[in-house]
Amino acid sequence: MSNELLILIIAAASIGFFHTLLGPDHYLPFIVMSRSRNWSLRKTSLVTVLCGIGHVLSSALLGIIGIALGIAVSKLEAIESFRGSIAAWVLIAFGLVYFIWGMRRALRSKPHEHLHKHKDGFSHMHTHNHTEVHMHVHRKKGTKNITPWVLFTIFVFGPCEPLIPLLMYPAAKNSLLGVVLVTGLFSATTILTMLGIVLISTFGVNLIPMNRLERYTHAIAGATICLCGVSIQFLGL
């Protein structure tokens, strides 16, 4: 292995780590959705890894196709930028819709009291909320939660901007080994960093007592996801 390739491999792993660490959209959606939907750590890990694979694989395939067809880096970067814009807007839309749904659910689940009078003259106050009393009866058996698939679709569209430029150098040197190593290390580092941050943060968040904020967890999750999309689209994170 040449010194140039070794340096490139180290750069791929380093960039993959910092690119993920500095991009909150890589982990915040999983942390807040895990908390709001009460996912187990196993499900949280599975969803995170699958979305990470879709995230890096889409850019890797685009880069490899671009290399094979001789497409210029500037054109590939323009495609990645367009994909990133789509992902950001979908993230904003999904977060906003989920926030509205979460607020509606929170307001419906606010406990309140009713006075119940009996025929014998005895009366008492009864506390309930509309979420527990009314909403659950409409839930159909076999209904599947589409949230993980929405996140997966968003992450497939979301580009790994640093990956394609990294692939170009070993490709220009006609080094298939270099292309494979760079892609593999960048992808593995990105996914493992995502998973590590998500698991550590999820474990910590689950220890925080929410008390009265518990019914707002869906709304908080939606707002967080929406802000992630805004940070990507308008702040370039």
Q: Express each pLDDT in 60-91 by its tens digit.
A: 898 888 888 887 878 888 888 898 899 999 99
Q: Which amino acid would we find at residue 207?
A: L
pLDDT at 40 exceeding the cut of 70:
yes
- Closest by CA to 151, choosing from 109, 198, 189, is 198
- For residue 145, the 8-state DSSP code is P
Average pLDDT of the chain, as a whole number: 82
Q: For residue 23, what is the DSSP state?
A: -
121 forms beta bridges with: none
More confidently predicted of 124 and 12: 12
Span 149-206, pLDDT tens digits: 899 999 998 888 888 888 877 776 777 888 888 899 999 999 999 999 999 999 888 8
The domain ranges of the chain are 3-111+147-235
pLDDT for 133 equals 43
pLDDT at 120: 56
DSSP assignments along 149-203, one per residue: HHHHHHHHHS--TTHHHHHHHHHHTT-HHHHHHHHHHHHHHHHHHHHHHHHHHHH
Q: What is the pLDDT of residue 76?
A: 85
Split at pLDDT 50, 70, 90, the class of 109 is low
Residues 6+ away with beta carbon under 8 Å from 95? 222, 223, 224, 225, 226, 227, 228, 229
User: Once rounded to an integer, what is the mean pLDDT over residues 111-120?
Assistant: 52
Please give the model's pTM, rounded to 2 decimal places.
Answer: 0.81
Rank 51-65, 121-135, 210-224 by mean pLDDT and report only the highest. Answer: 51-65
Instruction: Please tell me whether residue 126 adopts helix, strand or coil conformation.
Output: strand
- DSSP annotation of 146: -
